[in-house]
Structures are given as C-alpha cells and as structure tokens.
Amino acid sequence: MSAAAVITGLGAALPPDRITNEQLVREGLDTSDAWIRSRTGIRSRYRVRPGTTTGDLAVAAARGALESAGAYDAGLVILATTTPDRRCPATAPELAARLGMTGTPAFDLAAVCSGFVYAAAVASAILMAGAYDSVLLVAAETYSTIVDPCDRETAVIFGDGAGAVYLTRGNRRDPGALVHFDLGSDGTGSDLITIPAGGSGRPYADVLPPRQDRYFRMRGREVYGRAVRQMAASSRTVLDLAGWSTDSVAAFVAHQANQRILDSVADRLGIAADRCHGNLRDVGNTAAASLPLALADTAARDAVPPGARTLLTAFGGGLTWGSVAMTWPRAKPVRHAPEPRPTHKETDSCPPSTTTS
Ligand code: UT7
C-alpha cells in the first residue's frame, strides 16, 4: 500500500465581528448589498479588531487542529500567509512557541490564495521523505489589515480567518489522504495581485506619501478570467495524475474567491452544484485560509462521507495555482475564537486618515 500524508485533524478560527454588506455601505464604501450579492455571492466577512493579529487567528485554528487530531505537538509547523504579523521575522516560530513547541522547526510560506495547497504539497513531501512524523499546517490571514477600505473591488470580497490541518504519514486508503498535487506559477502576472510598496523593490521610505501603494491591489477583471481557466486546467491535471474521472469526484472545494468564478470552474469540469462545498457566502475570500476554512465548515456539517474522493483547487497572487486530489478526512473540526493581544494599532477607515506613518 503506497504511503501518503493524511489529514487527521481540522481546526478553524474566525474573529468575533461579522461584517455584513450593509455594514460596509454604512462605513462609507461606494457599493450596495445587491451588487455584492449578485457579483460575488458574498453576504458577510469577518474582521479582526485592532490588536488581533494573523498569529492570534493562527494559534486558535492550530489549537483546534491539534485537539481534533488528539495531538499535543507536531514535528514541523508551517504557516501559509500573506499577512504575517511582521515583515521580519516569520510568524510561524512565534506561533509554534505560543503552542508550547519552542525548538520545533517552523516557517512561513507565501503563495497568496494558493498558500494552503502549496504548503500541503511541501508538508506532504517532507512527511514522505521521513524527515518528520507530523506537520501542523496553518493558513491564516488578516486581509482587513492590508485592504484599502475605500477600494470597492477588494474591500467587498476579502475577509479574515484561519484554518489548520494536522498531517501524519499514513497510506492512500486512509480517509484524509493527500494523493496527488499539481502546482504552478506565472510571474509575468505578478502585478495583477500585489502590494506595490514595502518590499525591496519599493521600500516604504521611498513612497511616503502617498500611502495608497501600501495597500493590497487586485486587477479583478483580469484575474477573474485567469482564475477560471487555471483552476479548471489544474483540476484536470491533478485528476489525470490520480487517474480519477470528474464523475468519481464526490466533493469539490475551490478557493473561495467569488461565487461566479466557482460556478464557472465547476461548470467547465462538469461537476454539479450538489458536489461543490464551501462557505464563501458567510466568510468571503480569506486568501490562504479559504480552503481549510471550507474543509472545516463542510466537515462540521457532515456533508461528505470520510474517504470520498475530493478535489481542491486554488488560484491567487504570484500568479500561483495548485490542486490536490485527496480523500475526505474523518477528523471532526474544532473551532476556537482568537484571543487578542493588546497593541496600539488602529485599523484604517474609509476615507483613510491623512497620517503617513
Ligand atoms: O483570491 C485571489 C483571486 N481573486 C479572484 O479570483 C477575484 C477575481 N475578481 C473578481 O472577483 C471580480 O472581478 C470583482 C468582484 C473584483 C469585480 O467584479 P466584476 O464583475 O469583475 O466587476 P467589474 O470589475 O467588471 O466592474 C463592473 C462594474 C464597474 O462599473 P462600470 O464601469 O460598468 O460602470 C465597476 O466600477 O461594477 C463596478 N463595481 C462595483 N459596483 C458596486 C466594481 N466593484 C463594485 C462594488 N460595488 N463593490
């Protein structure tokens, strides 16, 4: 029997504040509930309060995954995120320490909305190589800290949240087995989803003022078409690798970017709506956290039988994409709320304040 990395624990965490479409309008964003619902399928998203970090969400989701797996620690910790607590150092070592795993190797992985799939592929390869017996893979994001609150293309779709999986070495017949991966990138599209300033190409010192280039930017319409084409193509590739027909896929979970995108991808693949799972409507686009949050939400509803053939696919900044052919895990998800740490940070409002520091 061939070996495989197997999901044995599932965790999830959302901030306490649910922000409805109407709330965004009340906050001054030039949009409407009707537009957001019809063009994206989103009704609400969650937002951290000032003082709550990506790391706080990650700790809560990680605790859930450990509890769900009946584990106390892991051989390796990977955090998939584009919104780390600080630019330096990585957030994963502090995450490991807060979980009582000081001394455990830990690193961040940045593949934007494809982060969970990329990290799952890395974790799987490390487990298969025999380097460690278990990996705690957390995907956590606080896009509310990087999205321009006045940018209606991004402010309406992105939200905060975290999901986590606990992975061990098992075999392909086990529920939760990660059977095959497809990963890809196209850096010629790196400007389509970006934070223009703050990296070595344009340090903050060079761009003050204006402060707008510090925000996350997405050329939505261009990304839209590529997301549909690439998630469909990557899904087909991974199904070919696994030798699975689309008809045999019992559950399809795609990166929760926009309901119209998800419907188009499923349509291209010929996967009926009753086999598509997720919680985009409630949580919005949570970037790397989107897939594990959808897995946890679907598992909490017992919507898919353990062992059922499952297809995950994602697309995001980089540009990056990836897909996983897996079987549905047996793990029961555990959800925890984040515990905020006091800081002096204020969240931006729309219109943004004029301070530049
Ligand atoms: O997660 C990583 C990958 N990300 C994605 O896959 C996201 C891909 N893109 C999208 O989800 C969509 O492109 C958006 C949700 C960002 C935008 O939706 P769209 O249907 O592509 O709208 P559009 O950009 O084609 O704009 C159509 C109209 C425009 O008005 P005009 O020029 O036709 O008068 C926009 O100005 O809708 C307007 N518009 C809005 N109106 C109200 C754009 N955003 C909004 C808004 N509220 N929030």
Query: 35, 38, 39, 219: which to mutate for ligand 1, most atoms within 8 A of CB?
Result: 39
> What tokens were used for 74?
């892991």
- What gap in Å lies between CA 241 and CA 261, rounded to an integer? 24
CB count in 10 Å sphere of residue 294: 24
Give the mean pLDDT of 300-311. 97
The answer, yes or no, to whether residue 210 has pLDDT greater than 80, is: no
Residue 344 is assigned to a structural domain of this protein: no
Q: What is the pLDDT of residues 313-353, one digit of tens each?
A: 999 999 999 999 999 999 999 999 898 665 545 566 676 54
Distance 261 CA to ligand 1 centre (A): 12
Distance 42 CA to ligand 1 centre (A): 13
User: Which residues carry out catalysis?
Assistant: 113, 255, 285
Please identify, by atom number, the ligand 1 atom nearest to the C-alpha of residue 223. 8
For ligand 1, residues with CB inside 6 Å are 31, 35, 39-40, 113, 152-153, 156-157, 220-221, 223-224, 227, 257-258, 261, 285, 315-316
Residue 354 is assigned to a structural domain of this protein: no
The answer, yes or no, to whether residue 355 has pLDDT greater than 50, is: no
Residue 347 is assigned to a structural domain of this protein: no
Q: Which residues of 253-275 are buried (b: 16+ CB within 10 A; e: fewer)?
A: bbbbbbbebbebbbebbebeeeb
The answer, yes or no, to whether residue 197 has pLDDT greater than 90, is: no
Decide: 244 and 309 in contact? Cβ < 8 Å: yes
CB count in 10 Å sphere of residue 30: 11
DSSP for 106-125 reads: EEEE--GGGHHHHHHHHHHH
Q: What is the pLDDT of residues 240-293, one digit of tens each?
A: 999 999 999 999 999 999 999 999 999 999 999 999 999 999 999 999 999 999
Residue 88 is assigned to a structural domain of this protein: yes
Residue 356 is assigned to a structural domain of this protein: no
Q: Which residues of 38-61 are buried (b: 16+ CB within 10 A; e: fewer)?
A: eebbbbbbbbbeeebbbbbbbbbb
Please identify, by atom number, the ligand 1 atom nearest to the C-alpha of residue 260. 11
Q: 240: domain CATH number?
A: 3.40.47.10
| Bond into 351 cis (ω within 30) | yes
Please identify, by atom number, the ligand 1 atom nearest to the C-alpha of residue 112. 2
> What tokens were used for 355?
């301070």
* Overall domain count for the chain: 1
Protein residue closest via CA to atom 16 of ligand 1: 220
Q: Domain of residue 312: give its range.
A: 1-339
Q: What is the pLDDT of residues 25-79, one digit of tens each?
A: 999 999 999 999 999 999 999 999 999 999 999 999 999 999 999 999 999 999 9
Residue 346 is assigned to a structural domain of this protein: no
Residue 353 is assigned to a structural domain of this protein: no
Is the pTM higher than 0.75? The answer reads: yes
pLDDT for 204: 76
Task: Quickly tell me which residue has 């859930």 as its tokens.
Answer: 64
